[in-house]
Chain A
Amino acid sequence: MEMPTKLKIRPKDGLTEILVLVSHPMETGQRVDAKTKEKVPAHFIQTLSIQLNGKDVAVADLGVAVSKDPLIGISVAGAKKGDKVNVSWSDNLGNKGGADETV
């Protein structure tokens, strides 16, 4: 399963907002497949971390109640044009993903 990550970085109120969107099913483990009538196993991102110039600025722990194709947004002070933002995540099945972007 391909699960791309996309970043959007924009100025907001004198700060820099970093938005992360991941294409991920975020299965709760409770949903029943309409065709097979069986429960779809839980499959969700557990940890997503955001780094600015190699330093963690946010480390988010997520559960199954985060929506499908999750969005996470934070705001940082002091980011300059050309600064590097790196996002990496891992899910409960051991998949990893992420993306890089410059401010």
Chain B
Amino acid sequence: MTTSNRRTFLKGTLAGGVLTVAASAGLLKPTQVLAAAWPKSAFDAKTMDATISGLYGNASVAPNAAITIKAPLQAENGAVVPITVSTTLANVESIAILVEKNATPLVCSVALMNGAQGYFSARMKMGKTSDVKVIVKAGGKLHSASQQIKVTVGGCGG
């Protein structure tokens, strides 16, 4: 089983609540289970394509206007760039954030379940001006949205 497949398997199991039950019964600590599932190949990937296949295997991704990215057009500081992703797509399973021009594009990926909505916010680092791509897995399909965020180099902060 490849890393990405194992990942999918784990996510599926979690959604089904099996591991959660084991965890609450004190058999497993959730963090221990999940640490093993951290998708190393996707986080280590240096290109967008390798990141996407590291996360989802060979599935195809299509742009979808039902995803909204709220992020600055011009970030004040590349060290702390706030981003909020929301979508009206139904049955959202996961949301991932990728910064194309970062050395390793994957910022984070969140699996959502049990009443969690298609909504995710985070703060991320950006080395330079780049397209930011958001991938939403919903109903078994991959949807994406992109926005460019400009990063300026400064130093003042009055």
A pairs with B: yes
B99 within 8 A of A: yes
Pairwise interchain contact B111-A58, C-beta atoms closer than 8 A: yes
Q: Which residues of A contact B80 (CB under 8 A)?
A: 67-68
Establish whether residues B121 and A49, one from each chain, have CB atoms under 8 Å apart when the complex forms. Answer: no
Interface centre among B31, B82, B112 (most CB of A within 10 A): B31
Interface assignment of A61: CB less than 8 Å from any CB of chain B: yes
Is A61 a contact partner of B108 (Cβ separation < 8 A)? yes
Contact with A along B29-63 (1 / 0, CB 8 A): 11110110111000100000000000000000000
Q: Are A78 and B120 in contact (CB under 8 A)?
A: no
Q: Please tell me which one of the listed residues B14, B30, B106, B122 contacts residue A72 in the complex, with CB atoms under 8 A apart.
A: B122
Interface residues of B in 72-119 (CB under 8 A from A): 79-82, 84, 99, 102-104, 106-117, 119
Interface of B is mostly: mixed
Q: How far is the CB of A48 from chain B (nearest CB, A)?
A: 9
B101-146 residues at the A interface, CB under 8 angstroms: 102-104, 106-117, 119-126
Q: Which residues of A contact B114 (CB under 8 A)?
A: 52, 55-57
Cβ < 8 Å to A, chain B residues 9-45:
11, 14, 17, 20, 24, 29-32, 34-35, 37-39, 43
Which residue of chain B lies nearest to A60 when distances are taken between CB atoms in the complex? B110
A90 to B43, CA, bound (A): 16
- Which residues does B use to contact A, with CB under 8 Å? 11, 14, 17, 20, 24, 29-32, 34-35, 37-39, 43, 79-82, 84, 99, 102-104, 106-117, 119-126
